[in-house]
Structure 1
Amino acid sequence: MNTSLDGHQTLASYEGRPHLVLSREDVCTLRSRAWLNNSVVQWMCCSFNDLGLKRFTRDFYCVCPGILEMVLVPKNLQNYHDGPNPMYVGLGQHFGADTRYFDKEIASNRNWWFFPVCITCHWWVYTFDVSGKRLFVLDSMHSKPDTTRSRLDSYVARIIEDIAQVAIPTYRPIQKGLLCTYASVPIQANRFDCGVYAIKYMEYWNEGRKLDDWQYDIINLYRLEIILDIILSHKNISIGAALNALDSRARPPVHRNQPRNKRMDVRTPFTAPDTKSILRRAGEKPKKNSTRRS
């Protein structure tokens, strides 16, 4: 292992999004039995929206995490009053001006919006059917709400309809609020895989498809898959430095490949160490006080 690599060294920088940079410490949250942090989920949301997959260019849009959490604080939730004339703290008047977190032009052309949210260290996803004006909850720990969650869901429904009015000026909110339904989804068997479940819900869920339960070994494979999706992404402008840093063996620097046949598409424009090496080194904990041997 390269002992010069510490927890703050950059492994991924998202092209066109200078605010979205993942350090080795961020990537280490994808290790087995670790809790995923906000940066990883945000990267995957942007990646889903930008990769050109048919699912996300036609039907689904991922809203970056953090938007709902800005208003879903205990004080605001305590002062929330539902009813025909609801009273609540909403988003700022300039919401929608910053397209880094919510692109209203793109969102207005999608039928479904995903809202990953993390509260008290638990990730789940709100899924909004824009034209049908319905709200689904994809939660890996709760199949139905309790009183506290019902109040939170009601508040979220109001905020989401406010967001819909920003993206679609002709949208008219439901006076009684959106009907919130808890979808049947795979349930986690522990307390630390919720972030992986949230990402995979966004990747695979739709209303007419039942997802099979995911065993623990499958979840671990999903974690490794997400590491590869991040580090080897064509949007990662730090890929060369990341792969060189992660590979402890003496090899030539990573460089872009030039296709021999210009008519053929190359799946990835980079050469890289073998997959097992990448996964192993990306998942190792950073050493805070590393020393070099003479």
Structure 2
Amino acid sequence: MDSLGIDMVQLRHKCRTNLLVEVNSHLTAAQKARIQSTPFRWTIQMGETLKLSCPLLLELLYRWDEHLKGFRVGSRLVKFTLLHVCFALGLRIVGERVLMHDPEESHTRSLFEGKDITIPTIVEQLKLFQRDEQVDDFCRLYLFLAFSVFYFPKTTSPVNGALLSMLDNLDALDQYNWGAAIYDSLSASLTRSARSVSEGMNSDQIWALVHVCLRKKDQQPTSVSFPRFLQWQKLNMGSTTIATAFEKNPVLEDLVCSKEEIDQHEVLRQAMTEANEGFCHWKCLTSDNEDMDSKHERLSGQFNELEHKVLILQQEVDRIKKFIGLQSTPTPTKDEGHDMEPVYPGEGHEDGPPWPDEVHEDEPACHDGSPQPLRPNPPPCTKEKLLKKLYSFCTRKKTSDGGRLEIIADMFGQYLSLQDMLCMRPRHCVNTLIFLLAAKVFMRDEVEHTGAVTRYMFSHVLVDKVKNELGLIRSGLRPIWSERTITEVAHDNNAMHSLMHCNLIFAPALFEGHWFCYVVDKNHKVLYVLDSLGKHHDSSADLMMLTNTLKGRFEELLCMLDNTLDKRNFTLQILYDDLPQQHNGHDCGIYVLKYMDIWDCVPRWGGMTMPNYSEVDINQIRREFVCKWVLHPMNSRRTKVLEDAHLPLDL
């Protein structure tokens, strides 16, 4: 994928639902009743062929993260989970594991009478089992066709026969976790296809329509139905439009279902229970909820109005500058603003223009005939200048080859692209993907230098999980956390061991566009809140509830780590550290990264636990972090980035 443009790739898939639609049109009442008694009852409601959008599937493949099992949307990563399969296909995500094996002896296999098992063969055999007394065998063949062209499609022939024996006992199908089987198959297909672009998919288009607003402005939203594939939308968009939508359109990070759907479908109620244990974020809509499209339209209108006011204010500033005799800067138009490349402190040629090349002896003489004097040799580039050049290269807005998703940092199961690094430019807000990588790097570097982890770093995922549980807690439900939950949110199989031996536990948080950090001091049983806006930022009721709920989760965690603690009486004290304040509205993420880097409860800077950074200091810190990650010895992309930037490999 790195060497090929996305428009040059041809996508093949074997999701051939037209065959199911054709069979559905001839089903008898007895056949429908038997199929409806299985977990795959929804397929008989398929009245139209499901049209897959190949440009959308290609874009999804381009954005698939095989390590985190999610898709990169703008500056975020939105996970693909078991709950998506349940919502999309109406299948259980609890139950016994589906056994993928292909025994020679199977009643369902015997229905083919020794023939090669291909999709045309399945269709032919279906025509032979039309009598009512053959309804069970017809159902087996129908479900196997559904497996082959919809649930488990393959690009190879013959079709996947590993599930034939599972169809021998139709009455036992309900006890298996079909959602997990399809999820595992689809995740493997995504990973394989992201490398070779070959397999077909079906749930991914639903994922994109759920999470990314891909509807045209004049297209009316359809009513919600369960499962979602019955609400399939035909998408007629080109690859450029879809790519732009993934970067700029609103993103819904929660799956949404109605109270009526939960009441009507046992499969969905079971899935909600599983979701509470860490599978996905979801919300239940009631009649009091504002329609999502209306809310988006209202907020978009407010944004456009504010943007217009900003332009008017900028014009007023220009007029004032002219009035007092200062040189005015032209006001960017709305379209021009996106392409502007302002020079911030720490960027550009601070030390003057670059040195000209040395004049050779055969160059023409001056106008008076005298030899032209030699210009001095340029001074050697210092390491500081080389690092500035590297920083500018890694945070540039445009690339010569259009490689917006080119990876420049890849280590410890996390990676960052050029697009991700844009947030490390001056006056930009740090995105969540930065914290996923930074948390791993901080801990691995500490192990490298000290041999142990004394400062355990969660990413933002921990606090995000707690935020998404607040709705349940308000309604009287409190999901149970286990060691498995901690391992999942930490993306670390050794999390419990490391947490047991560390002294400080860091958990960065993003709330209403502002970054701050929670830190647990295990030795002194204190939960610190580190906030570059000060304690007054914690005045909202929602944020206070988040802090108190997270306090309870940390108390549960410490009791898991130390069984001598009394779960009923143990409590953490909440303290707000008095820290220097940020000077603007966009550097909070950099402050949190520095908290994770050096904060240790000890007042070292004039009675404070952190230095008082200036804006110039913060820009320097941005550059230091980017260069540190790109030049890290474990970064598999280090050499390529240095070569592309025309920098020495031993930098």
TM range (shorter): 0.7 to 0.9
Q: Does 1:156 align with 2:547?
A: no
SS across alignment from 2:600:
coil
Offset, 1:70: 1.4
Query: Residue 539 of structure 2 corresponds to which residue in structure 1?
Result: 146
Q: Deviations over 1:209-260 (max 9, x none)?
A: 2223110000000000010111011221111222223x1x4x7xx7xxxxxx
* Counterpart-to-counterpart distance in 2, 1:29 and 1:175: 43
Task: Please name the residue that 1:230 is paired with.
Answer: 629
Tell me, yes or no, if structure 1 residue 131 matches structure 2 residue 523.
yes
Rounded Cα–Cα distance in structure 1 between residues aligned with 2:642 and 2:568: 50
User: Which of these residues, 57, 68, 74, is aligned with residue 452 of structure 2?
Assistant: 57
Shift of 1:80: 7.2
2:407 to 10, 17, 20: 10
Matched, 1:88 2:487: no
C-alpha offsets along residues 110-162 of structure 1, whole Å, 9 cap, x if unaligned?
Answer: 11111111122211110101132210000111324315232221111011222
Q: 2:510 is matched with which residue?
A: 118
Partner SS state of residue 528, structure 2? strand
Q: 1:72-108 deviations in whole A, cap 9, x for unaligned?
A: 1375276177xxxxx6345467213446347111111
Per-residue CA deviation, residues 177-224 of structure 1 (Å, 9 max, x unaligned), is: 422111011211111111100000111212222223110000000000
**Judging changes above 3 Å, is the alpha-carbon distance between structure 1 residues 80 and 126 closer, same or farther for their aligned structure 2 residues?**
farther
Residue 106 (structure 1) aligned with residue 485 (structure 2): no
Superposed CA RMSD in Å reads 2.7
| Cα distance in 2 for residues equivalent to 1:176 and 1:76 | 25
Give the equivalent residue in structure 2 for 1:21: 415
**Where do 1:206-285 residues align within 5 Å?**
206-209=600-603, 210=608, 211-245=610-644, 247=645, 249=646, 270-272=649-651
CA distance in 2, matches of 1:62, 1:74: 21
Is contact 1:80-1:89 (8 Å) kept?
no
Distance 1:120 1:55 in 2: 37
Counterparts in 2 of 1:6 and 1:58: CA distance versus 1, 3 Å = closer
2 CA distance for matches of 1:46 and 1:228? Answer: 16
Give the secondary-structure state (helix, strand or coil) at the position aligned to 2:441: helix
Instruction: Report the CA distance between 1:3 and its aligned residue.
Output: 0.2
The answer as to whether partners of 1:65 and 1:116 remain within 8 angstroms in 2 is: yes
Query: What is the DSSP-based 3-state SS (H/G/I as helix, E as strand, rest coil) of the residue aligned with 2:510?
Result: strand
Partner of 1:289: none
CA distance in 2 between partners of 1:61 and 1:42 (Å): 13
Q: 1:38 deviation in Å? A: 1.0
Q: Distance in 2 between matches of 1:186 and 1:165?
A: 33
**What is the one-letter code of the residue matched to 1:100?**
H
State the alpha-carbon separation in 2 of the partners of residues 46 and 93 from structure 1. 19
Structure with greater helix share of residues = 2
Distance 1:92 1:80 in 2: 21
Code of the residue aligned with 2:625 in structure 1: it is I
Contact 1:137-1:183 within 8 A present in 2 as well: yes
Secondary structure, in 3 states, of the residue corresponding to 2:501? Answer: coil
Q: Deviations over 1:5-50 (max 9, x none)?
A: 52200001114x2xx1110011111000111111111211111100
Partner of 2:440: 46
Please report the TM-score for the alignment, with normalisation by the length of structure 2.
0.35
TM-aligned CA distance change 1:187 to 1:55, over 3 Å? farther
**How has the CA–CA distance of structure 1 residues 49 and 198 changed in structure 2, closer, same or farther, with 3 Å as cutoff?**
same
> Match of 1:192?
586
Residue equivalent to 2:123: none
Change (3 A) 1:214 1:90: farther
Quick one: which of 447, 464, 479 aligns to 1:69?
A: 464
SS of the residue corresponding to residue 400 of structure 2 reads coil
Are residues 97 and 45 of structure 1, via their aligned partners in 2, closer, same or farther at CA, if it must alter by over 3 Å?
closer
Q: Where does the alignment leave 5 or more consecutive residues of structure 2 unmatched?
A: 1-392, 394-398
Q: Taking CA–CA contacts closer than 8 Å with sequence separation of 6 or more, which of the two structures ends up with the larger relative contact order? A: 1
- Code of the aligned partner of 2:410: S
Q: 1:39 to 1:180 in 2, by over 3 A?
A: same
In structure 2, the CA distance between the partners of 1:192 and 1:202, relative to structure 1 (3 Å rule), is same
How many positions carry a matched residue from both structures?
Answer: 244
Answer whether contact 2:629 2:635 (CA < 8 A) is retained.
yes
Q: Residues 534 and 578 of structure 2 are in contact (CA less than 8 Å); yes or no, is this contact kept in structure 1?
A: no
Aligned to 2:219: none
SS at match of 2:456: strand
Q: Pick closer, same or farther for the CA change 1:181–1:111 going to 2, 3 Å.
A: same
CA distance in 1, matches of 2:565, 2:458: 18
Structure number with greater Rg is 2
Q: In structure 2, how many angstroms separate the alpha carbons of the residues matched to 1:236 and 1:37?
A: 20
